[in-house]
Every structure is written in structure tokens, then in C-alpha cells.
Amino acid sequence: MRPGAKRCDDGGSDLLIVAEEEDSKGLVLAHDGIVHNDHVATTSAIPASRLHGVEGRPSYVTVGTIVWLSSELMFFATLFAAYFTVRSVAPELWAQETELLNIPFATVNTTILVLSSVTCQLGVYAAAKGNAAGMRKWFIISFIMGAVFIGGQATEYAELVHEGLTIQSSAYGSLFYLATGFHGLHVIGGLLAFLLVIGRTYAARKFTHEQAVSAIVVSYYWHFVDVVWVALFAAIYIIR
């Protein structure tokens, strides 16, 4: 019998043989069949990632997400560059317009979003342990906190518009709504991703490795969104 073969005898003349070996392409060959009168049944090739999980390297989905987030980082870096460039040209306008900002309210809203990153990571820990119910619980909490953040941002927009600060009122208004608005769209995208992952766990009969990877990928995106907002908060509300 080949190395790695497993042999089970049910007490009769029929034996179930399962053998595994790895070929030159990194595939695990799983040989299985019923031995009866010296005849062996089927042989099939199964990807090692499916049979044994991740072999010490990230999945293509994870790598693709990281590459995509890197491009998103460049996009937000452009917004930051535009913000500080215009600010250096018109400091008096910045001093006047930033007085309209409700910093305590924005601080509370920021705290909620940052804490949602913590609950999201707790959901990832649960997913890594195969705990679908735990992952759903923490992801639902993260979704609610993210929705509260969006609601808070909408409330802030309404107050600023009432005070006369609109996207067309000044260069500051244009950059403020452009930067925070695009970030808000990214938050909404994260909320939709939470719903997708949560829904898949309800639809599936069992919690799979692929679903755990999806939870991890969503957490990467959510943490990215949170870090970008912390930087925006510092630039817009603290440095001013």
C-alpha cells in the first residue's frame, strides 16, 4: 500500500482504500475505491487547497482585494493632496468655513466607526474557528454601527447645508463633500458586503472555508475604510 494510504475493513471481503499523494503540480491525488477480488475502483485528482485548506499562502481573492485596496489608497491620496493644496492657497477661507463644523458630533460618529472595526475583527475570529453564528452576530453589529455612521454623516450634511456650506458654495465645500462623500460611498459598499456574507451563511448548509475567506476579505475592506476615515477626520476636523 502506498504511503498515506488508509485501509478500513468492515469485516467482510470488501476493503475501502483511501490514499493520498501529491503530484508535481501541487495536486493531492486522492485514490479511493472498494477492493473486491483484487479490483480497485476510481482515482480522482482534487486540488490541495480544497482537500487540506490553504497551504501557507493567501488565496487569489485575498491578493486581489489587497491590490484593489492599494489602488483605492492612491485615489484617496489624490483627494488628500488636493485638499491640502487648496488649503495652502486659501488659508483664510479654510479658517472661516471650518468654524461651521460640529467637531464633538463628528468625534462621536468617528468613534462609532472605529469601534465597528473591532466588532468586525471579532467576527473574523469567529469565522476562523468555524463559528458561523458568532460571525453573523459580530458582523450584524458592525453593520448597524456602520449604518449609524452613515446616518450621522447625513445629519451633518443637512446641518452644513442649512448653514450655507454646499458643494458649490466654495472650494472648501467642494473638497469637503467630495472627500467625505466618496468615503461614505465606500462605507455603504462595506455595508452591502456585510449583508452578502451574512446572507451566504444563512443560505449555505454548512460554514465552509470559502465563506471564512469571504469574511476575512470583507474585514480587510472595512479596516481600510476605517483607517481612511481616521485620516480624513484628522485632516478636516483636527488640523483644519
More confident residue, 122 or 68: 122
pLDDT for 137 beyond 60: yes
Its pTM stands at: 0.73
pLDDT for 45 beyond 90: no
Q: What is the pLDDT of residue 57?
A: 62
Distances from the Cα of 198 to the Cαs of 114, 117, 139, 142, 226, in angstroms? 21, 16, 7, 11, 20
H or E stretch covering 32: strand 27-35
| Over residues 84-110, mean pLDDT | 91
Domains of the chain: 6-52 (no CATH), 60-239 (1.20.120.80)
Nearest to 60 by CA among 72, 68, 52: 68
Q: What is the pLDDT of residue 222?
A: 96
pLDDT tens, residue by residue, 170-193: 999 999 999 999 999 999 999 999
pLDDT bin (cut points 50, 70, 90) of residue 43 is: very low
pLDDT tens, residue by residue, 191-232: 999 999 999 888 877 877 888 888 999 999 999 999 999 999
- pLDDT over 90 for what percent of the chain? 54
SS (H, E, C) 128-139: HCCCHHHHHHHH
Helix (H, G, I), strand (E, B) or coil at 165: coil
Nearest to 190 by CA among 234, 155, 137, 139: 139
- pLDDT over 70 for what percent of the chain? 75
Mean predicted lDDT score pLDDT of the chain: 80
